[in-house]
Amino acid sequence: MDMQYSDARPVLEGPDIARVLTRIAHEIVERARGADDVVLLGIPTRGVFLARRLAAKLEQITGRSVPVGSLDITMYRDDLRMQPPRALARTEIPGDGVDGRLVVLVDDVLFSGRTIRAALDALNDIGRPRAVQLAVLVDRGHRELPIRADYVGKNLPTSLRETVKVQLAEEDGRDTVLLGVKQAAPGAQQ
């Protein structure tokens, strides 16, 4: 995790990200036929910000407010024992719950698919959605599980030596997606 991004180059800048999210919002409305039963659940940390931005855009499009929440997957990870205990993030399910609704999971990067696997398990303990879909800002490939995204901001073919880092204004002070090369930092495991 001690990655250096100094030599990383931006592959998406602020305006690109805004445009991409607008497109995804339209796709959701289209595919979910108006999106009136959609619940957006962001995966902490950056997925939550993306979910909130998507919710705002959906509201602009549909004129209705869309329930948005967060789903922490820490306790469902399959690699818990490979690192010291991680701090938990907030799981916040909108008041009406998820039962019978279309849950759209939102995350920044889709990589191995293990996070989404954990998210599906976590969701399973919370309720029974009508369907679950996945929206990601970047799909960088290299799936290790049979998981795919329904809405993709940008497909970004990468090598395993490369790193993808999403920065969002809410957390990092600016919007950008950086593509870099992994440094041989000891103990840093992707």
| Residues at the contact surface with other proteins, assessed by CB under 8 A | 1, 3, 44-46, 72, 74-76, 79-91, 107-112, 114-115, 121, 125-127, 140, 163-166, 190
Closest contact distance (angstroms) between CB of 35 and other proteins is 25
In 10 A of CB 83, how many CB atoms?
Answer: 11
Closest contact distance (angstroms) between CB of 38 and other proteins is 21
CA angle, residues 173, 177, 180, in degrees to nearest 5: 115
Element (H, E) at 171: helix 169-172
Q: Considering the complex, state which of residue 26 and residue 52 has its C-beta at the smaller distance from other proteins.
A: 52
Q: Considering the complex, state which of residue 20 and residue 35 has its C-beta at the smaller distance from other proteins.
A: 20
* Torsion from C-alpha of 30, 34, 37, 41, nearest 10 degrees: 50
Closest contact distance (angstroms) between CB of 87 and other proteins is 4
Q: What are phi and psi of 138, to 5 degrees?
A: -135, 135
Q: Considering the complex, state which of residue 40 and residue 44 has its C-beta at the smaller distance from other proteins.
A: 44
Closest contact distance (angstroms) between CB of 43 and other proteins is 9
Q: Considering the complex, state which of residue 91 and residue 133 has its C-beta at the smaller distance from other proteins.
A: 91
Sign of CA dihedral 61, 45, 96, 125: positive
CA angle, residues 121, 48, 58, in degrees to nearest 5: 105
